[in-house]
Amino acid sequence: MGTVEKTPARLTAKPSWLLGQVAVHAHRLAADGFAAVGTRGYHYRILSALDEFGAASQADLGRRVAMDRSDVVATLNELAGQALVERTPDPDDRRRNIVTLTKEGARQLKRADQALDQVQDDLLAPLSAAERDALTGMLARLLAHHRQD
């Protein structure tokens, strides 16, 4: 008998409870997938933003990927230490750093993408392609709605 069958029905009937339980599992799968390629979730957030939007200040990166300023700094220190990003003073404001994705950073992002794609397949294994698309769309709508608050 699985865990859900041993859980009170009043919980398993609540989307908030189900989402929380799946989120815990998804987080573990993602952390394991990232670890297999020598990275972490925070690294993936920063590298993804730099790849998609280009060079940015540390503050802009933090806002874009919803990370606290101190976490951004610590993550950038790790990424710079691995030569995955480069920080240079902003020519318009020497108090700010501009962060750029390096070629090695782009390669690491590709490895992380592949690992995360496998995680998605593992997490969503019981769902058809259409169900996966529908779930992703609904979750995106929920997130957009609640981020407005």
> Residues 79, 50: contact at Cβ < 8 Å?
no
Q: Are strands 93-101 and 85-90 parallel, antiparallel or unpaired?
A: antiparallel
Confidence category of residue 3, pLDDT binned at 50, 70, 90: low
Measured CA to CA, the distance from residue 105 to residue 84 in angstroms comes to: 4
pTM for the structure as a whole: 0.86
Question: Is the CATH number 1.10.10.10 carried by domain 16-147?
Answer: yes
Q: What is the pLDDT of residues 7-57, one digit of tens each?
A: 999 999 999 999 999 999 999 999 999 999 999 999 999 999 999 999 999
Please state the domain extents for the chain: 16-147
Is 111 exposed, middle or buried (CB count within 10 Å of its CB: 0-12, 13-18, 19+)?
Answer: middle
Confidence category of residue 91, pLDDT binned at 50, 70, 90: confident
